[in-house]
Amino acid sequence: MTYLEMQIPNRSEHLWRYTPWKKIHPTKVDAIPEIKPATVMINGKLSKSNSIAEIPKSEEISRVFLLESNSTRHNITIENETDEYEINVKCESEMESCHLHFDVQSSGNVCLRLSGKSSWFGLSITAVLQKNVTFSFAIVNDLNEQCTFVRCEDWNILRDSSLEYGELSTGANRIKSDIRTYLKGTNSTLTQNIAVNCEDGRVDDHHIEIHHLSPHTNSSLCVNSACANKGHAIGTGLLIIEENCDGSDAGQVFKNLLLSEDAKAEAIPELEVLSDDVSAAHGAASSSVDPEQIHYLMARGFSREDAKKEILEGFLISSFAKFSNYKTRQFLMEELTVKAE
Amino acid sequence: MSDEAINAVGEYKYGFHDPENATIRFDKGLSEQVVRDISELKGEPEWMTEIRVKAYHHFEERPMPDWGNCNMLESIKFDDVTYFLRSSDQTEKNWDDVPDDIKNTFDRLGIPEAEQKWLGGVTAQYESEAVYHSIREDLEEQGVIFLDMDSGLKEYPDLVKQYFGTVIPYADNKFSALNTAVWSGGSFIYVPKGVHVEMPVQAYFRINAKNMGQFERTLIIADEGSSIHYVEGCTAPTYSTDSLHSAVVELIAMEGAKIRYSTVQNWSANVYNLVTKRGIAHKNAVVEWVDGNIGSKLTMKYPAVILKGEGAHAEIISVAYAGEGQHQDAGAKVHHLAPNTTSNILSKSISKNGGRSSYRGLLKVNPKAHGCRSKVVCDALMLDANSRSDTYPTMEVGNSSADLEHEASVSKISGDQLFYLMSRGFSEEEAMGLIVNGFFEPFTRELPMEYAVELNKLLELEMEGAIG
């Protein structure tokens, strides 16, 4: 089905409950405007995109829209264990988008940074982790403060492979992220840590789906969101353990730190379990800054504002503290430190 | 187990049915005329007829929910349902005056015996209307009103008009519209200021006829500083065709009042149980829902509390047991509208033999509600590979001073626990039964003793055949 044949999704759908499609479409919902490809630099070199010979079938409206509005893709193959990729995606004109496809054949890591002045930016990531690889991926959203950002990611993890995924989301004004991971092979593992900082009316909507499709698969999701000054963080998670996935272990936690009266946070960690011999848990917590922590820091010379900033930084940085890959961990922490300063 | 349990509860003990001796039975199907006829038959005031008709049109226009178990919902044949059936010409105050066949039913359910031992009042509803009703004299002397809803409307029309539909308006959802259009029976309770009803009052709802729809309406008002515990039980015969139960329950707890509403729902596996339950808690008031869902084909029930006054508290304990062919879609909703309000939600579910249990919850904090605290815990046990357990919680926080926690887990029965019990001489089945009873213990300990004993035996029976 093409985009124009599709029905505009209803807000009663879990995915579109808080950020309806019409709010993140770059123009009017019944149009596919001209969207330019963004500039992609890989390890300092300009990357050339290829046409997607066959557009993958999807019934999800934002995926179809992103593919129909820009049918070129950057294919990145991770072939050697020593491969380290620093990817910079920069969008300069009014509306731009980018498709990245990772074929992970060997262990490695990728640090991806998004920046630029566009008022609308679309990102699509597809990836396949072949058997027996360990892949670490870090993404930093540093888009301009007025940007509307639409993102779709699909990660497929095959047998005995593991994905360590980290995200720092501080850029753009309205963000709709739809990240889906499919644990397709036995003993595949996902560790996903996301830090979100919503300030100055920023609305950051993360929808995260994790599908356990094989036995003995493991997943762990932790989303730390801090909201201040009319910031609004939304986290909807859908964890599905399909039939015949015994021995699987899954957990997801959404934590919201509310720093001002006008801040808002939503957490909906959903769970669907169709196998019995599994361990599945989820949790969500929302709270303001602990006054005892502020008191502790103020007693050591911090002003109230500085104490709050330190606590905020610590809260967000804790998302990445257990990252096993040094390169991606440092990338995320350094970006966060720069932002905090 | 368990000859003892079988003796106690039988093979779906409540699956028997009596011959139908209806004095009035409407034809199947729903129309505006049916709604008007129900109202006329009951001699209702004009305003109630108008609400019914408006609700009927809303029900007709409103689409079916597009969430939950849509397949099961779509299979409800509203045209095959009987919307009104009168079994007795009047509500009796003495069991001896109740028609023999109906009295026999309630004898077998143990209601008269329970009334003598531990209840402050009883309403027994058979099909569409109450057939028996009584309240202890001392409560009546203190000004407590405990009537079936039809009598409540006749005797206290102003009080009913003031509160009816204020907590759950007819346009709230499709099934509240259906209930408002065709409601019949249910309880009307008013507890005056400062009166504490020490013994629980009970309503027992029984569907006897095939393809019957039961649409009771309950309204409980606890005035300032008062308290009441209301207990509700439900059963139906096992037929090959389906019945529909769609109730609306509205609770209003005024300043400093406390209402506890306990339900053990054990409908037979051919009943669609689509219920809307909501309470409003004013300043420093407490509303508690203790909600057990054992029976029915499909249950969709999310007891809710609106914490409207400062310092109000909500407590919701919900358990669900989903066996073969059952979907227990239960949960809880709490709206924190006022500052310093608190809530606790505990949900426990068990899925067995291909059953499906879902927790669907909402926790919402208004931007002006400072200092709210809430904790939600959902635990699910899955007893075999064919079953399913889902959790759909929603937390919407609009105030930075709120402290909210949610935690949920899904697992099977621990091998260590089974081993421990089996090494002490229990069979595997007995051990599982004990673990399940222990799992539900936070719920059963909140029930009156007689209910708790019954529920434990019922669960033990349901657990039969869980092994192999």
Residue B275 pLDDT > 50: yes
Least CB–CB distance from B391: residue in A265, A270, A276: A270
More confident residue, B443 or A334: A334
Query: Would you give the DSSP letter of residue A92?
Result: -
How far apart are the C-alpha atoms of A45 and A68, rounded to whole Å? 27
Q: Which of A77-86, A266-275, B84-93, B174-183 has the highest mean pLDDT?
A: B174-183
Distance from CA of B393 to the nearest CA of A (A): 5
Closest among A71, A73, A72, A126 to A104, alpha carbons compared:
A126
Do the strands B217-222 and B145-148 form a parallel or antiparallel pair, or are they unpaired? unpaired
How far apart are the C-alpha atoms of A114 and A331, rounded to whole Å? 13
How far apart are the C-alpha atoms of B198 and B118, rounded to whole Å? 10
For residue B450, what pLDDT is reported?
A: 67
Residue B2 pLDDT > 60: no
How far apart are the C-alpha atoms of A142 and A116, rounded to whole Å? 8
For residue A284, the chain B residue with the least C-alpha distance is B406
Distance from CA of B361 to the nearest CA of A (A): 10
For residue B85, what pLDDT is reported?
A: 81
**Mean pLDDT of all residues belonging to chain B:** 85
Q: Which of B201-210, B244-253, B407-416 has the highest mean pLDDT?
A: B244-253
For residue B153, what pLDDT is reported?
A: 95
Least CB–CB distance from B394: residue in A244, A262, A268: A268
| Domains of chain A, residue spans | 75-340
Distance from CA of A98 to the nearest CA of B (A): 33
Which of B69, B347, B397, B403 is most worth mutating to test chain A (most A CB atoms within 10 A of its CB)?
A: B397
Distance from CA of A246 to the nearest CA of B (A): 9
- Distant-in-sequence, close-in-space partners of A28: CB < 8 Å, separation ≥ 6: none
For residue A243, the chain B residue with the least C-alpha distance is B385
B347 close to B379: Cβ distance less than 8 angstroms:
yes
For residue B127, what pLDDT is reported?
A: 67
For residue A230, the chain B residue with the least C-alpha distance is B398
More confident residue, A43 or B85: A43
Low-confidence ranges of chain A (pLDDT < 50): none
* Chain A: residues touching B (Cβ < 8 Å): 10, 12, 227, 243-244, 246, 256, 258-288
Is residue B285 very low, low, confident or very high in pLDDT (cuts 50, 70, 90)? Answer: very high
A182 close to A212: Cβ distance less than 8 angstroms:
no
Is residue B6 very low, low, confident or very high in pLDDT (cuts 50, 70, 90)? Answer: very low
Query: Would you give the DSSP letter of residue B312?
Result: -
For residue A149, what pLDDT is reported?
A: 96
φ, ψ of residue B268 to 5 degrees: the values are -70, 165
Mean pLDDT throughout B24-29? 80
How far apart are the C-alpha atoms of B254 and B284, rounded to whole Å? 9
Interface of B with A in 387-416 (CB under 8 A): 387-412
What residues in A contact B411, CB-CB < 8 Å?
278-280
What tens digit of pLDDT does each residue of A215-236 get?
999 999 999 999 988 899 999 9
Mean pLDDT throughout B283-295? 93
Q: What are the percentages of helix, strand and coil residues in chain A, rounded to 5? A: 15, 45, 35
Residue B33 pLDDT > 70: yes
What tens digit of pLDDT does each residue of B334-359 get?
999 999 999 999 999 999 888 999 99
What residues in B contact A276, CB-CB < 8 Å?
382-385, 387, 412
Residue B13 pLDDT > 60: no
A226 close to A196: Cβ distance less than 8 angstroms:
yes
Is residue B297 very low, low, confident or very high in pLDDT (cuts 50, 70, 90)? Answer: very high
Is residue B468 very low, low, confident or very high in pLDDT (cuts 50, 70, 90)? Answer: very low
How far apart are the C-alpha atoms of B187 and A179, rounded to whole Å? 49
How far apart are the C-alpha atoms of B311 and B58, rounded to whole Å? 36
H or E element, residue B416: helix B415-422
Name the one residue in this structure whose structure tokens are 């540093």.
Answer: A142
CA angle A138, A144, A146 (to 5 degrees): 130
For residue A54, what pLDDT is reported?
A: 67
Beta bridge partners of B82: B28, B212
For residue A277, what pLDDT is reported?
A: 85
Of A158-172, A299-313, B229-243, B251-265, the least confident: B229-243
Residue B95 pLDDT > 80: no
A332 close to A326: Cβ distance less than 8 angstroms:
no
Residue B389 pLDDT > 70: yes
Least CB–CB distance from A12: residue in B67, B388, B395: B67
Torsion, Cα B29 B31 B35 B41, to 10 degrees, reads: -70
Least CB–CB distance from B408: residue in A277, A281, A288: A281
Residue B449 pLDDT > 90: no
HSE of B374, CA atoms in CB hemisphere, 13 A: 39
DSSP E strands: which ranges in B282-312? Answer: 286-293, 298-301, 304-307
Is residue B5 very low, low, confident or very high in pLDDT (cuts 50, 70, 90)? Answer: very low
Mean pLDDT throughout B65-73? 89
What residues in A contact B406, CB-CB < 8 Å?
267, 269, 282-285
What residues in A contact B413, CB-CB < 8 Å?
none
Percentage of chain B surpassing pLDDT 70? 82
H or E element, residue A307: helix A304-317
For residue B140, what pLDDT is reported?
A: 82
Is residue B237 very low, low, confident or very high in pLDDT (cuts 50, 70, 90)? Answer: low
ipTM computed for the complex: 0.73
For residue B265, what pLDDT is reported?
A: 84
What tens digit of pLDDT does each residue of B47-57 get?
999 999 999 99
